[in-house]
Amino acid sequence: MMRFKGKVAHKFAESPLLELRLPAWRSRLMALLILLSFVVLIGRAFYLQIIDTDFLQEKGESRYRRDIEISASRGRIADRHGDVLAISTPMRSIWAVPPAVQLTPEQTQQLAALLETDAQTLSRKLATDRPFVFLRRQIPPPVAAQVAALKLPGIGQDKEYRRFYPTGEMTAHMVGFTGVDDEGLEGAELAFHGQLLGTPGSRSVIKDRRGQIVEDVGSIKPPQDGEDISLALDSKVQYLAYSQLKQAIADRKAKAGGVVVLDARTGEILALANWPTYNPNNRASLSGGQLRNRALTDTFEPGSTLKPFTIAVAMETGRVRFDSLINCAPGRLRIGNATISDTHRYGVLSVAEVIQKSSNVGSAKIAAMLPAQVMWEMFDSVGFGQVPNLGFPGEVSGRLRPWKTWRPIEQATMSFGHGISVSLLQLARAYSVFARDGDLVPLSLTRIGSSRPRGTQVFSPRTAREVRAMLEMAVRPGGTAPKAQIPGYRVAGKTGTARKLENGRYTTKNYVASFVGFAPASDPRLIVAVMIDEPRGKYYGGEVAAPVFAAVMAGTLRTLGIAPDAPLEVAHSGKPATKARL
């Protein structure tokens, strides 16, 4: 026994704590718990390794096995005859797993050359902390094969598709284009994106630690290609519209323009051309105003092309007849503080001659016979102020103000197309009420076959036929558009010349020239609408737009094999249309 400063120290072996005895049941309990733990571990191991092997198998495969998406081919876009307008071609994308990339300077130079970039830019992409980066998208398969031959660690490639447009800028605004990820961005590519887009598949592969595929295990889900779309567009008619519009824009040094060709019987859009345009195959230039599908997205004041609608509703409501007389002398009409003028001083004109001569005064006097609400309802019923609902991107409704806000001068000017704005497609569609028996036909971007859709009745068949005869007079000598005549065919149509509204005032420098018509007038098959924006020199619709109409209509009639309905010598005879020819 040792003493430390008065205290007694005991040896460890003689500690009183060691003399305490634990109950026997505690040791047995601890042994039992340890035994049970071993049983649970053995049972769990047996369950995972013998009974339920999926969990460990999944964890193991996650270290080396990957599911890779297999791209689906986007559906083709074709015209009504099956000619391809948009098709997907197989390409490759080159990607990298930066942490696994270990390239020598020489390998970096080789890869950069194949990817058409410089070594410094490539090195910056590979220096990122991101686990995955694209090095180049949509490269040709032969180039991708050269990249694969380098066998670079951490560099891989996948199959994808690039959209190709055989007809280029000719059909650009109708077909549109896709982005690098195959999503529709414009035109039919966007309008029918859901149908064109396929469903990607997947396949399982085994990769090494560098990200290289060492074994293809097999396909999990095959890809489903997108649905093909057949547009109503006719490539031959589209070429006629595009080439004639392009030439007219160049000849008149105009700012822009558009042409729409409709099948009067079915409402199918056979052609839709705009200028300026773009080449959808050149991705570097896909920006700016050239992308605008002006025939649907831009509006303009249609001018005198609206006079037939004013006269039609006046005839329909019994205010005037075909041969009713309107005093247009002395060529001016004062309404409030404003004065409406004609280009020539006409005396007394029949209602038919108001259309033939395009008298603003005559149209305004006829409009004054109508309640504002009646005129508004007529404009509304032919589609003005409404989105066409084709599903096409960027469609606009135009401007048609509520009739309760109209002043007398505004009702007068609307009768000849000022104070109201429409798109070229709206205007072309509205003329179907005269090309048909007074019913408004729905339009279609896609081919609908031989079926003829039912239209919405706007005017009686008699009114439609009488206005059709007036429009035929406008194209003959003595009318405003003799340059719209086509040898061998009876043509009906109307010119439009409107000053542009700039900064709240009508300019005297810039105009919009337009013409809308149909043929053969005896049994209308086609409607063609033309708009030329800011032509230089001559600017009247009869001088600028009517010749484009004649060229496009004549070519389309012959292309579609539509039989003539007038002898060649009669087409320019100058005989006035009569009610006997309705």
Burial letters for 354-363: b for 16+ Cβ neighbours within 10 Å, e otherwise?
bbbbbbbbbb
In the set 304, 363, 423, 514, the catalytic residue is 304
**Strands 229-230 vs 77-78: parallel, antiparallel or unpaired:** parallel
Residue 304 known to be catalytic: yes
Cα gap 47→31, rounded to integer Å: 24
Cα gap 330→423, rounded to integer Å: 34
Phi/psi of residue 577, each to 5°?
-70, 145
**Residue 22 in 3-state DSSP?**
coil
Cα gap 561→571, rounded to integer Å: 19
Other Cβ atoms less than 10 A from the Cβ of 254: the count is: 23
* Rounded-to-5 percentages of helix, strand, coil across the chain: 35, 25, 40
Cα gap 260→552, rounded to integer Å: 10
Name the maximum alpha-carbon separation found in the chain.
149
The residues near 330 (Cβ < 8 Å, ≥ 6 apart) are 345
Cβ(316)–Cβ(553) below 8 Å: no
Give the bridge partners for 94, in sequence order: 136, 157
Cβ(531)–Cβ(514) below 8 Å: yes
Phi/psi of residue 180, each to 5°?
-65, -25
**Residues tagged active-site:** 304
